[in-house]
Each structure stands twice: as structure tokens, then as C-alpha cells.
Structure 1
């Protein structure tokens, strides 16, 4: 009887061991690729033709709010037979294939982690073009999310310990340690970093809760706010020069969610009043009801004669790490 009991225990242990092993997470290698790079896997003839044009129309569209044309993604196209081995570890992949099956969906962590693969199939040009139109918005959003997380992962290896944002505004941002405090006043903080021939900048401040109460004047009020803050806090190189919103073009304004709160996103061009300096900006106006205010976060870049997409993307990745001290217990 003792032997039977021991045997039963061994069998039960083996059964549980099998169950545990079945729950183990599948190992996936780390994904690879430069920030904002997109691997397009499709037949080269398709890529050179109208289907490729449709892909470029969406996935190489111009980034909003930059002074010169720069694409959303830097695209590398390869034929399907080359998509094997380490190449499959690319972080953002668009797979397009002519097939009797028609489909369009986004898959997660297929060959590597983190990874997003948008798959588009169709038999005719109209099938493929329709599926590209159908999936492009979701695919671009998915690619951008995984690229933002990758950018954040890279710069959070060494973070700034500056406490001015917490002390003045009750917030924290995960800012790389190379950014330094440039200016601190009541309810206003400015941090920046030197880059080749220029700077990348982050400013944060608050506005009254009732600001921007009228939709019909929303864009005009954003410009007025930015110009007022620029005159007060962001001087140009000479006396009586300061940052304003470029007069020739109104900023693009879109809905957003930042730090778990509703926000407005504004992208456009800043310039220096009375002096030939300019560059792109990204502003988030966050509805911070817990603190009865509008919190404003902005990133702007000065980098003449340089591409600015990736600079602005890093600033966006930083601003999207905002946490509110008032939410710490929630």
C-alpha cells in the first residue's frame, strides 16, 4: 500500500510539472531596428507599381508640423524570400502579399518582442488598395506605439534627477540625464539639451482651468497662449526678441490622451519675433481636473539644416511619460 501511495504522489507531481511547463512563456528574441524604421515585405514588382505607391502614400506621408517634408517612417523594402532569420526580428513590419485570400490585420510579437506586423493580402490591385486604406490608420498607430515605447526604453537607461518639475508643477517626466535645467520660475520649468548646431527643449507650465473654453477660438487661443509665454519666458538672441508661433501657418490641433488625461495636441512651427530663427514644436494641453488647471507640456527643437523628425519624436516620447503627483494613490 505504501508503494502505491508513493507512486500516486510521483504521478501527481509529474502531472503538475507538465501543466506548469505548458504555461511557460514562449521565448522571443529582442526586436531590432532604428527608431521610426519600417520593414516592408512584398514582391519588388508590386513595390514599384501602384500598390507600392499606395503604401508610400500612407506610410511615408509627411510628418505634421515640420518645416520640411520628412516621412512618418524610414522604409526598407525587401522581397518575401529575404524575410527570414534575423531579418524577421524587425520591430515594425508591413507584410503585403498578392493572394486569393483577402485580409488586413495587425499581429503582435510574432518573431520578436516587442514587435508589430501588419499583414495585408488581396488578389487584385483593388483588393490590396482597399485593404491598405482599411488598415493604414490602425497599423500606423500600432507602429508608432511600439516605436514610442522603444524610444522610452532607450533613454530611460540614464534619467535626470532634477526635481524642479515636481516642486513647481507636481508632475514627473522621465527625462534623459543629458537634459539640464535651463530656467525655473514659479509654475514654469525649462530643460534643454545641446545637439549638433542646436538644442532640444522641454518647457512646462500651467494655465487656469477655464482657459480654452470656446471651441470656435481654440486654435487662436493656443497661439495667443504660446506667444504670451514666449514673450515672458523664452527670449531670442537679442533684446526684445522672443519665441512666437509662426504667423504664416496655424498649428495642427488634434485630440490626445496624455498621462491618462484628456488633452489637445498642437503641432506647428515656432519663430523668433524680429529674428530669423525657427523650428518645430509639439504642445500638449492637458485637462488636469484634479488640480483645477490646464497643464501645458511643450517640446521644441532648433536644428537648422538638419532633419528634425527623430528629435521631435524623442521629445514626444518624453512628454508622454508624464505622471501627476495627485494620481500617485489612485
Structure 2
């Protein structure tokens, strides 16, 4: 009788232990690979066992996409990667790692190639095969590594554009359509600061900072460096200011670089990256600024998009990608 009671208790005990283990493992989504990582700017690089160590080290040196522009780089000259990188061997690639947003498998081959894997663990994942030419020199590895990391960045920008499509407040959507005949991918955290004809000023506050976003129609076409900088500064001076009387925001082209690039061969879309600074204010205020100028040659006017980032003390990588996705959604939606 005692033995039967003991066996019955042990059976209950075993069931209890099994239930606890099952519940614990089920809750560990990252271990089981059932949940995608919340950090979409992480890249897991998985190297095959037969890849040459020298080529792997060259790849590590050049698989880098700098944050442009951020105060830390302009002040110190140090470069910071947009992405956080984790390197592992293929033999260590277990279910634990299936939740990474971006995964790259490195392998040696007779030529370079970048292909997308058909089998993914999550629909929104980016999983790529990158084959390194075993006979190539370091310059080739540098070029192809840059191409690979830029492809991942563009996929992340596209992912965010799709994520926030039709996410903006109705009044923003209606104003953009009526005054600019444009659409934008924007979260509903943005609110209108001001609207007048052909001018839209938006703001989003978050825990440690603020975004300001201005879209404006301007007469003429803007192609030269000075024309673009002067227009950005004019709009900034009239709309971005602090509580200090006489303070205003402008591009800081004295202490920082300003990068202007043409995105299309038709000279109709330009990208401007730099730093903005609050002038005439004793408090050091500023941060990255990203702008796009979309020239419409047919109607002899342009649309200018200006995105101001104020996030003191924070890593700027996610903010820069967010600004780029919002800006590019104007002409890729």
C-alpha cells in the first residue's frame, strides 16, 4: 500500500517537473527561434568551415557601413557602424540564432555572388548567401563587402517603408495628397505642428529626444550645392528654434561635413546629410539632419524634405535609418 502511494506521488512529481520544463522552454522564444529579434540592425555572419581565415579577416575589416553624419564622428573622426555584427562558425549555428533579423552565410567559391536563401525562419528576415572568390585580392573583397552591407541596409529601409505604409494620421495623409500629390510611410506618433499652403511641419517626441520633419514646395529647381544648403538653412531658420530669443537652427557646415549626392541620373533627386546646430543658444543643441530635394522639371518647382534628429547621448544608427525610410517613401511608395 505504501509502495503504491509512493509510486503515485512520484508520478505526479514527474508530471509537475515535466510541465515546468515545458513551460520554461516554451517561454524562451529566442532560444527556440520562434520570435524575430527586435533589433533589425543586427547582422549574424555565419562562416563555413572551409573559408580561408585570411579572406575572413579581410571581410571583417571591410564589412562596415558608417553612420553619416553623427556628432561623434565629426568631433573625433571615429567611425561607427550602422549595424551590430556577430560572427560565428557554421558548426555553432543552432536554433538559438534563428531569430536574427539579418543572417549572412559566408562560403568560398570561384567567383563572387550574393543570393537570397529561399528557406527563412521568419517571413520578414533577410537571409543571404555570400560567396567570396578564393583568388580575389583585398580590393575586390572591399568592393563586394560594401555591396553586401548596402544591400542589407536597403532591404531594411524597404522593410520600414512597408511597415509604416498608411500608418500616418489621416490629416497628414490628406494634406500631403492635396498639396503635394505625394504619399508617405509614417508612424502615427507624428503630429502636425503647422500647415500652410504647400508647407507641412511635423513632430514626434520620444523618451530621449525629438524628431522634426518639414516638407515644403519651393519654386525653381535646385541642383547646385549652395542652392540646396541655402534653401535648407532658410527653412530651418524660420521654423526650428529654441526658447532663447534669436536662436535658430542651421546646417553646421563650419565644424562638420555636408554630403550631397545625386540619387538618380536625371538630376531630379538629391540627398543631403549633415549636422544641424542651434545658433545663438547657450545650450549645445544639434544632431544629424537628412534632407531630400525632389525636382519637378515639368512644373518648375521642387519638393524639399528635411528631417532633424535630436537624440543626445543615443546611438544614432536607428534614427538615421528611420529618417531615410521616411524620406525615401516619398518617391518610392
TM-score (norm 2): 0.75
Question: Residue 270 in 1 paired to residue 276 in 2?
Answer: yes
- Decide which of 88, 106, 128 is 1:96's aligned counterpart: 106
Distance 1:313 1:78, change over 3 A: same
Deviations 1:178-198 (A, max 9, x none): 110012123221111111221
**What is the count of residue pairs matched by the alignment?**
286
When the two chains are superposed, the root-mean-square deviation of aligned CA atoms in Å is 3.2
- Decide which of 308, 312, 320 is 2:320's aligned counterpart: 312
- Decide which of 234, 253, 263 is 2:260's aligned counterpart: 253
Q: Which residue of 1 aligns with 2:64?
A: 60
Deviations 1:256-301 (A, max 9, x none): 159x994111111000111221100111111223443111112121
- Decide which of 100, 113, 118 is 1:105's aligned counterpart: 113
- Decide which of 153, 170, 174 is 1:161's aligned counterpart: 170
CA distance in 2 between counterparts of 1:62 and 1:40 reads: 18
CA distance in 1 between counterparts of 2:133 and 2:239 reads: 55
TM-score (norm 1): 0.75
Consecutive unaligned residues in structure 1, runs of 5 or more: 1-28, 213-217
Q: CA contact under 8 A between 2:262 and 2:270: conserved in structure 1?
A: yes
- Decide which of 165, 169, 172 is 2:183's aligned counterpart: 172
CA distance in 2 between counterparts of 1:239 and 1:314 reads: 31
Q: CA contact under 8 A between 1:202 and 1:315: conserved in structure 2?
A: no
CA distance in 1 between counterparts of 2:228 and 2:301 reads: 15
Question: Residue 209 in 1 paired to residue 220 in 2?
Answer: yes
Deviations 1:112-135 (A, max 9, x none): 245241413344xx6374552242
Q: CA contact under 8 A between 1:281 and 1:301: conserved in structure 2?
A: yes
Q: Which residue of 2 aligns with 1:244?
A: 250
1:148 is paired with a residue whose SS is helix
Distance 1:56 1:223, change over 3 A: farther
Q: Which residue of 2 aligns with 1:127?
A: 136
The correspondence of residues 1-330 of structure 1 with structure 2, limited to 5 A, is 32-33=36-37, 34-42=39-47, 51-68=55-72, 69-85=79-95, 87-88=97-98, 90-97=100-107, 99=108, 101-112=109-120, 113-114=123-124, 115-123=126-134, 127=136, 129=138, 131-156=140-165, 158-162=167-171, 163-212=174-223, 218-246=224-252, 247-257=254-264, 262-275=268-281, 276-322=284-330
CA distance in 2 between counterparts of 1:278 and 1:78 reads: 38
